[in-house]
Structure 1
């Protein structure tokens, strides 16, 4: 066995230690087989932008600072050569070569030919081993055997780097797994992986706290074993959307716990996709929202009861007005029905529609303060009497301001005779100061009043009422509201929607729409 083979065997027996120790042994071994003035190892950045000295060992055993660095901007040709070959030599004649300049400046003496062996793994340059013979050596040029020795040592250096890199990756992975394990053990949310045939593949330990089942007890079972029968279709639809659309979708449903009781879970589901792009499972992140759902149910029940009461109260107020003014019997119900239909056509939200309907039901409530003989007067109304009638909007506002409600009933009632050009009463408000509900009630009120019989004139009919409103659209009436009215009257069938809480009477037969 020759000297070089003995060196390689010796190195293989000593490795691996720490990376720094490995490299130190490798560089020392070069000096054992080649009479070098120094040997060094340099690491290459990922983008091939620079070489950084990792360790430089002189012939007398000293280790120099590893702060030495050469960038591709300083020596573009040098970096280009590294990409094209396995080794290169920088001769003494290349006195201005940046790599030589840096080394000689650090060593404080002239060096002979620098032999540079490029370290690669799977085609990627990791770095270089750079060494130079002492100037007293003969021959000064590097022999084939010496180059092979450095090449062998370079391979060992590459393996050492790879080994320590793998050790570090494994260490970080173990740390990550431990952190993840700690996190999943202490997290309150439940994470469940479900197969494409909807069986539970794995679940976090929080299954015990949330549902009372140890994680292993649920594995392999269909998720629908635990889901309330009435919620299964909704969950199936959610799963289908997750798989087809790839969206993250939230769903709330009831799940059976180990005590035989149902709890509400709110789950966010998403697809689990492999690097190949194949969907392999569905991941659910769930939390127990039972307390929140029950509170909301109680609040909703209270709201519905309050809504029922206020509907009853509003209808009572409306009945008082119509009892005193038989000529307008059914007018407020008609206006409420028509206003709600217009609001729906315009896209108002459910809560807005409810407030609109209630306000329309009592929009003339202030007339209880107007003498009956004026309200029912068959002949021409005198200016002073008209002035008294106009005050019903203010009276209505005062009455409704005492009603506790989530809707702006008093404001809608006070504004239902205002016009968008400011020509209405009682305050002469213009477009931007009027609620959309007020504009709707105004149009519905005018339409029903014109189409119906009044004490002082016969009914003008649907066509005349529409002509009047259309001609004044965008002048004194909101055009969008008038357009919606036209669509409702000419195309839609207007009826009151009766639900189990509604106290509203059916639409009066006094007026026929369409």
Structure 2
């Protein structure tokens, strides 16, 4: 009898401990049945936090199931997580819970399946991530404003360069148009394409250190003058490296005259040592420069420019970039000079 009393007291204390932990958790805790067809059934237990956060009484909860408080148009990611729950017995995902007042609360849900007195049930713990989502949105807005400010500075710089060197007015914009089209054709991310776009807008920034009379000189330039022009990628890098862009703009700009076989400048890089963005910018730059008029020669034309990159595909220019460029140029809706 004494042992039975001790066991009964231990069970009571265990139940009280469980009750205290269950109802004083910071997270919403719900237990629901897994019914025929592996579908989620009604809730059979919820904690006080779930009732308080969602506004339902315990009795109201027992007439609901997870599909009543989660979005009906669950995306494929959430559906996959539920499939993982059935397959592996546990899953973690982000979703939203619908309150009694028809508001949505963003939550991070962790669920696992177990047997309760021979019944297959799932225990879900939902953490309210409203404050985290708000912080993420504020950070996103801040980054967007910073990005817009950077874009504005870059565009103003590009305009300044074009005013100083009228013969290349619009060159950087045209290069950007080609390079971004190539990047999209190659399947680069939106963020990477944005970085390439901005790098193109100021890829000739270093020419601000080259005397204007050399840049606009008609006829052939001397070897010394050409060496001065060749310094512009490194000059641009020295300026841009001091700015903490969210893209490798300084690297792309400094390498756009490097070539696959190491014959380029300023560092003679080759192959994979050249960044992907610089490989794209390099091809776009050559194409636009050859197809357009320059102080020292008339325009060579688009066909001649295409011959150049095709003949040197894999030797001077990245094979994949050239292939993507040719696909872009073959499209009827793409016009380099519009």
TM-score by length of 2: 0.79
2:258, 2:75 → 1: CA distance? Answer: 50
Partner of 2:249: 409
1:200 Cα deviation from its structure 2 partner: 4.3
User: What SS does the corresponding residue of 1:233 show, helix, strand or coil?
Assistant: coil
| Alignment partner, residue 222 of structure 2 | 382
Deviation at 1:269, TM superposition (A): 6.3
Show the counterpart of 1:252. 95
**Who wins on radius of gyration, i.e. which is larger?**
1
Q: Is the 8 A contact 1:195 1:201 kept in 2?
A: no
Match of 2:261 in 1: 421
Q: Counterpart in 2 of 1:353? A: 193
Instruction: Quickly say closer, same or farther: Cα 1:334–1:241, change in 2 above 3 A.
Output: same
Which of 486, 489, 497 matches 2:326? 486
**Residue matched to 2:174:** 334
* Residues 194 and 490 (structure 1), Cα distance of their counterparts in 2 relative to 1, 3 Å cut: farther
Q: Secondary structure of 1:381's partner?
A: coil
Return the match for 1:263 from 87, 105, 123: 105
Tell me which of 4, 24, 27 is aligned to 1:189: 27
Which deviations, in whole Å up to 9, do the C-alpha atoms of 1:191-232 show, x marking residues without a partner? Answer: 4337788774234203135435443333314667656xxx65
**Residue deviations 1:46-86 (CA, integer Å, cap 9, x gap):** xxxxxxxxxxxxxxxxxxxxxxxxxxxxxxxxxxxxxxxxx
Q: Distance in 1 between matches of 2:81 and 2:115?
A: 15
Shift of 1:301: 0.2
Aligned pairs for 1:232-251 (under 5 A) are 232-234=72-74, 238-239=78-79, 242=82, 248=91, 250-251=93-94
Q: CA, structure 1 residues 254+300, in 2 after alignment: closer, same or farther (shift >3 Å)?
A: farther
Structure-2 change in CA distance of 1:343 and 1:287 (3 Å): same
Structure 1 distance, partners of 2:220, 2:85, is: 68
Q: Please state if 1:293 is matched with 2:133.
A: yes
The change in CA–CA distance for 1:325 and 1:189 in structure 2 (over 3 A counts) is same
What whole-Å deviation, never above 9, does each CA across 1:317-360 have from its counterpart, x for those lacking one? 11111122222222211212222222233333332222221111
CA distance in 1 between partners of 2:193 and 2:136 (Å): 22
1:216 equivalent to 2:59? Answer: yes
Offset of residue 408 of structure 1: 1.8
CA distance in 2, matches of 1:439, 1:237: 35
Deviates more, 1:202-211 or 1:476-485: 202-211
Kept after mapping to 2: 8 A contact 1:416/1:441: yes
- Name the structure 2 match of 1:201: 43
Q: TM-score, normalised by structure 1?
A: 0.54
Distance (Å, rounded) in 2 between the aligned partners of 1:204 and 1:221: 11
Shift of 1:386: 1.1
In the superposition, relative to structure 1, how do residues 254 and 298 fare at CA in structure 2: closer, same or farther (>3 Å)? farther
Aligned: 1:302 with 2:128: no
Taking the aligned partners of 2:104 and 2:126, their CA distance within structure 1 comes to 15
Alignment of 1:4-43 (within 5 A): none
Match in the other structure for 1:78: none
- In 1, are the aligned partners of 2:94 and 2:106 still within 8 Å (CA)? no
- Higher RCO structure (Cα 8 Å, ≥6 apart): 2
- 8 Å CA contact 2:85, 2:113 repeated in 1: no
Counterparts in 2 of 1:364 and 1:226: CA distance versus 1, 3 Å: same
Moved more, 243-252 or 318-327: 243-252
Q: How has the CA–CA distance of structure 1 residues 484 and 265 changed in structure 2, closer, same or farther, with 3 Å as cutoff?
A: same
Q: 2:286 aligns with which of 431, 446, 468?
A: 446
Correspondence for 2:232 = 392
Deviation at 1:435, TM superposition (A): 1.3
C-alpha deviation, 1:478, in angstroms: 1.5
SS at 2:153 equivalent: helix
How far does the alpha carbon of each residue in 1:115-147 deviate from its partner, in whole angstroms, 9 at most, with x for none?
Answer: xxxxxxxxxxxxxxxxxxxxxxxxxxxxxxxxx
Report the CA distance shift for 1:413/1:286 in structure 2 as closer, same or farther (over 3 A): same
For structure 2, the residue ranges without an aligned partner over 5 or more in a row are none
* Superposition CA RMSD, Å: 3.8
Measured after TM superposition, the shift of residue 313 of structure 1 is 0.8
Matches within 5 A, 1:448-487: 448-487=288-327
| Paired positions, count | 326
